[in-house]
């Protein structure tokens, strides 16, 4: 399986969910083995910030990358889009500190990336293949990753909020590009109306609105169109997980089980995976049913 980048440059702009500032973005194709690299064009010297675990500087309400005091926040939905489509290499230029939230999901990112076209490169993908289980937990919250007998990537996620509209939801699936696009990518971020003031006082959610988040009051969902899936909340958590797990730096072959996790615990798992070198192997040749599995060329163009 080859590495992928995009064929054409994408440009768009939008408001940051937490900063509330408008940011212009340009996503460009990039060379093999580059990974996903952010560039802050508005900062002197245009510093580069690679999307990798060592550059994560915050995980409260969003995942933030930073190098030497220069940061890019709320990277998780865009990273999930790259990961879910199997795009390994791209450069993301921004003129502000936060990736635009757009509609609060990865749907527009997917649409733009697919519109630009995917391009297979010559270098092979390298996979991080889990061989022994790794678990991180905090009280009753946990994330566990285990070896996959099918040499596959799957997520089994459950949430349990003390709110009648969210409450207990679970989602479980193996992933292919199409399952990611159909089942997870359009699920929006969500928040509770009674927490909005406190978030804003802490400099968060300043760009949040009904256009980019599902907002829940004590008695109803405030968005006019309602939900995109009856269990949109847990599906969004799966989307966040995809973005966060991509910070391991390689596509993962393994089965994730998560209960009430969030960015902080997701990132702890990534750190533990990278530390526990005896729990996984690197492979560029997977023996499996290539037609069905994740990151496989289902509908993607052949080597160009």
Q: How far, rounded to the nearest angstrom, does the alpha carbon of residue 118 sit from its chain's CA centroid?
A: 18
Q: Say whether 122 is catalytic.
A: no
- Give Cα separations from 176 to 98, 173, 202 (angstroms): 28, 9, 38
Tokens of 262: 């969030």
- Cβ 197 to Zn ion shortest distance, Å: 20
What does the binding site for Zn ion look like in residue numbers (CB under 5 A)? 189, 240
Q: Is the dihedral of CA 151, 144, 17, 34 positive or negative?
A: negative
Which one, 98 or 240, has the nearer CB to Zn ion? Answer: 240
Sequence-distant (≥ 6) Cβ neighbours of residue 189 within 8 angstroms: 17, 77, 101, 104, 105, 212, 213, 214, 236
- Cβ 65 to Zn ion shortest distance, Å: 15
Which one, 80 or 273, has the nearer CB to Zn ion? Answer: 80
Which one, 144 or 213, has the nearer CB to Zn ion? Answer: 213
- Cβ 29 to Zn ion shortest distance, Å: 26
Which one, 39 or 75, has the nearer CB to Zn ion? Answer: 75
Residues comprising the chain, all counted: 304
Burial class (CB in 10 A: 0-12, 13-18, 19+), 204: buried
- Cβ 119 to Zn ion shortest distance, Å: 28
Which one, 5 or 63, has the nearer CB to Zn ion? Answer: 63
- Cβ 209 to Zn ion shortest distance, Å: 15
- Give Cα separations from 32 to 84, 88, 90, 133, 286 (angstroms): 18, 8, 9, 30, 19
**β partners of residue 173:** 155
- Cβ 236 to Zn ion shortest distance, Å: 6
Which one, 126 or 173, has the nearer CB to Zn ion? Answer: 173
3-state class of 160 per DSSP? strand
Tokens of 103: 């509609």
Please give the sequence-ordered ranges of beta strands (E in DSSP) within the chain, or none if there are none. 2-6, 10-15, 22-29, 36-40, 48-50, 56-58, 64-67, 70-72, 90-94, 118-124, 127-130, 134-138, 141-146, 153-160, 168-174, 190-192, 214-216, 252-259, 280-283
- From the list 18, 77, 236, 263, the catalytic residue is 263
Catalytic sites, residue numbers: 263
């Amino acid at each position: 399986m080859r590495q992928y980048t995009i064929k054409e440059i994408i440009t768009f702009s939008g408001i940051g969910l937490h900063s509330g500032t408008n940011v212009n973005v340009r996503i460009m194709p990039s060379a093999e083995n580059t990974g996903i690299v952010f560039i802050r064009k508005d900062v002197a010297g245009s510093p580069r910030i690679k999307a990798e675990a060592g550059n994560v500087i915050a995980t409260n309400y969003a995942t933030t990358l930073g190098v030497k005091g220069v940061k890019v926040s709320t990277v998780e939905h865009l990273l999930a889009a790259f990961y879910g489509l199997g795009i390994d290499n791209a450069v993301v230029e921004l003129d502000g500190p936060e990736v635009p939230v757009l509609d609060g999901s990865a749907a527009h990112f997917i649409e733009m990336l697919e519109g630009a076209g995917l391009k297979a490169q010559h270098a092979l993908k390298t996979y991080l293949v889990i061989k022994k289980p790794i678990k991180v937990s905090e009280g009753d919250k946990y994330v566990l990753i285990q070896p996959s007998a099918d040499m596959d990537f799957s997520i089994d996620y459950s949430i349990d909020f003390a709110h009648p509209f969210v409450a207990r939801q679970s989602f479980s699936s193996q992933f292919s590009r199409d399952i990611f696009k159909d089942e997870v990518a359009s699920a929006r971020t969500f928040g509770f109306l009674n927490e909005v003031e406190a978030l804003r006082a802490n400099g968060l959610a300043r760009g949040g609105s009904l256009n980019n988040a599902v907002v829940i009051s004590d008695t109803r969902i405030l968005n006019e169109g309602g939900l995109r899936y009856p269990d949109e909340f847990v599906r969004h958590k799966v989307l966040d997980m995809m973005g966060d797990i991509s910070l391991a730096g390689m596509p993962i072959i393994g089965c994730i089980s998560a209960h009430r996790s969030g960015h902080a615990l997701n990132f702890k798992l990534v750190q533990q995976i990278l530390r526990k070198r005896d729990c996984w192997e690197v492979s560029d040749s997977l023996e499996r049913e290539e037609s069905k599995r994740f990151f496989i060329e289902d509908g993607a163009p052949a080597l160009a």
